Amino acid sequence: MPNAVEYVTFTLKKGVSISNFLLASEKMNSGFLHAQKGYVSRQLLADGDTWADWILWETMEDALSAAEAFGRGVADRAYASFIENWVMRHFTVKQSFMDGR
């Protein structure tokens, strides 16, 4: 069960093609994130001009280690080139509720 969440809010740079950004997002996910220890899952969210990455990690150590490594590889640098005004936060999961339906 994951016990850490990385939550990053950001906006896209002016003139960015959303389809190109989504392609870069897929490449970053399959290239960078999948190679990181403790990676569980990721959701890319949007609300108007505000976007967010919601990433689950096995441990806080895994999350912080990946955050430190972000931007060193081709796929993650390409993804980062599309975004600005980003704020990264890390949370420890205290309770988790799953709908068993």
pTM of structure: 0.90
Q: Which pLDDT tens digit goes with each residue over 54-63?
A: 999 999 999 9
CA distances in angstroms from 46 to 50, 58, 59, 62, 89, listed in the order given = 6, 24, 26, 25, 17
Q: Which pLDDT tens digit goes with each residue over 25-77?
A: 999 999 999 999 999 999 999 999 999 999 999 999 999 999 999 988 888 88
Res 101: pLDDT: 66
Res 1: pLDDT: 75
Complete domains list, the chain, with CATH: 4-92 (3.30.70.100)
Q: Say which amino acid occupies 42.
A: R
Of the pLDDT bands very low, low, confident and very high (cuts 50, 70, 90), residue 7 is: very high
